[in-house]
């Protein structure tokens, strides 16, 4: 009869505990694979938002910000643009809606000299195809850590193959391709997806001024880490007044002549 040594018994017990732990973790843990290198991140520059995103949007991946009008999706995208250009990096903005507003971007701290604005939505011909080709070209040009594709115009959703192609192109780079859209378009081809929901607008004072816009931000997809589907984050976007408040009122005679 063989006797088990005390150290052997401990080893067996530890092994059983590990097996039990592994079975509890289930599909969250992959066995037999090597250590997966965490991709670099492109932070937005707001600690609370970056925490929710795990440090920022993953480099080498297609990410998506979607939401309805006035949900703060553009403010969030421009914040990312400001933080990227603030570090001296270049960024491309492929604009299918021709909606980029340089004064707003400048007010948010975007270094406009480092932004390549591609107004793909204007001009004759098929702007959707043009925007996709322009995005591809920007991704192929090394040196743009952020390429933003604004797909909020009235364009039809491109074929799934387009997202597959863009995701593959992005994976071969050290860039973030950020898709800005009204509804989720890239589906499972996105590394990370954020949904924005408008909450409320606050008008205060007399006369009333647009003080801030509140929105809810939900991380709905993250390929590299588990997400809590119920977790949301309220984001406040401080209001801006028109630039030219001090402009003189139109004189009576000019209004009458205009009329």
Partner 1 sequence: MSQPHRLACLLVPDLPLRAELRAHPELADVSFVVAAGSDARAEVIEASPAAYLAGVRAGGSVTHARAVSSDVRVQVMSLALERASRQALLDVALSFSPRAVLADRSYSAFSSEAAVLLDASGMKQLYESERHFASALAARSKALGLPGVVAIASSRTLARIAARRCANQADPLCIVPAGAESSFLAPLPIDLLDPDDKLAQQLTRFGVHFVRDLLRLPRRALAGRMGPDVLQLVAMARGETVEPPLPTPADSRLEEAIDLDYPADRSEPLLFVLRGLLSRLMERLELRHLASGPLDLRLDLEGGGRDVRQVGVVGATRDTRVLLRLLALTLETHPPGAPVEAVSVATEGLPERRDQLDLFRPRGPDPDSLDRTLTELESLCGSGRVGAPEVADDHRPDAFGLKPFEPHRVPRTPDLPASTETTALVVRALRPPVAAEVRVNRGLPIQVRSAVSSGDVIHVSGPWRTTGRWWSDTDRYALDHFDVQVSDGTVSRLCFDWQERRWRVDGLYD
Residues 108-147 that bind partner 1 (CB under 8 A): 108-109, 111-120, 122-123, 125, 130, 133-134, 137-138, 140-144
DSSP letter assigned to residue 90 = -
For residues 141 and 100, give the distance between their C-alpha atoms in angstroms, rounded to a whole number: 22
The answer for residues whose C-beta is within 8 angstroms of residue 237's C-beta and 6 or more apart is 72, 75, 212, 213, 214, 215
For residues 105 and 83, give the distance between their C-alpha atoms in angstroms, rounded to a whole number: 11
Nearer to partner 1, 120 or 190 (CB): 120
CB 176 within 8 A of CB 58: yes
Q: Does 156 bind partner 1 (CB under 8 A)?
A: no
For residues 134 and 95, give the distance between their C-alpha atoms in angstroms, rounded to a whole number: 10
Nearer to partner 1, 175 or 222 (CB): 175
* Residue 126: CB minimum distance to partner 1, A: 11
For partner 1, the binding residues in 56-75 under the rule CB under 8 A are: 68-75
Is there a cis peptide before residue 207, judged by omega within 30 degrees of 0? yes
Number of residues that bind partner 1 (CB under 8 A): 88
* Residue 155: CB minimum distance to partner 1, A: 15
Nearer to partner 1, 13 or 255 (CB): 255
* Residue 144: CB minimum distance to partner 1, A: 7
């Amino acid at each position: 009869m063989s006797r088990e040594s005390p150290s052997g018994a401990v080893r067996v017990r530890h092994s059983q505990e590990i097996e039990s732990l592994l079975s509890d973790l289930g599909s969250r843990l992959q066995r037999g694979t090597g250590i997966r290198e965490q991709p670099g991140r492109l932070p937005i520059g707001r600690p609370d938002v970056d925490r929710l995103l795990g440090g920022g949007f993953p480099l080498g991946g297609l990410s998506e910000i979607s939401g309805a009008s006035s949900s703060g999706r553009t403010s969030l995208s421009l914040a990312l643009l400001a933080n990227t250009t603030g570090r001296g990096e270049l960024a491309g903005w492929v604009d299918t809606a021709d909606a980029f507003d340089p004064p707003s971007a400048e007010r948010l701290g975007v270094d406009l000299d480092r932004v390549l604005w591609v107004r793909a939505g204007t001009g004759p011909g098929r702007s959707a195809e043009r925007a996709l080709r322009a995005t591809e070209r920007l991704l192929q040009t090394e040196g743009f850590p952020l390429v933003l594709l604004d797909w909020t115009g009235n364009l039809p959703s491109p074929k799934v193959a387009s997202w597959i192609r863009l995701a593959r192109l992005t994976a071969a780079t050290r860039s973030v391709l950020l898709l800005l859209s009204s509804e989720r378009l890239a589906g499972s081809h996105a590394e990370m997806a954020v949904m924005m929901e408008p909450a409320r607008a606050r008008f205060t004072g007399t006369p009333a001024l647009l003080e801030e816009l509140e929105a809810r931000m939900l991380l709905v997809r993250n390929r590299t880490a588990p997400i809590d589907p119920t977790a949301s984050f309220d984001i406040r976007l401080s209001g801006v007044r028109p630039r030219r408040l001090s402009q003189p009122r139109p004189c009576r005679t000019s209004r009458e002549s205009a009329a």
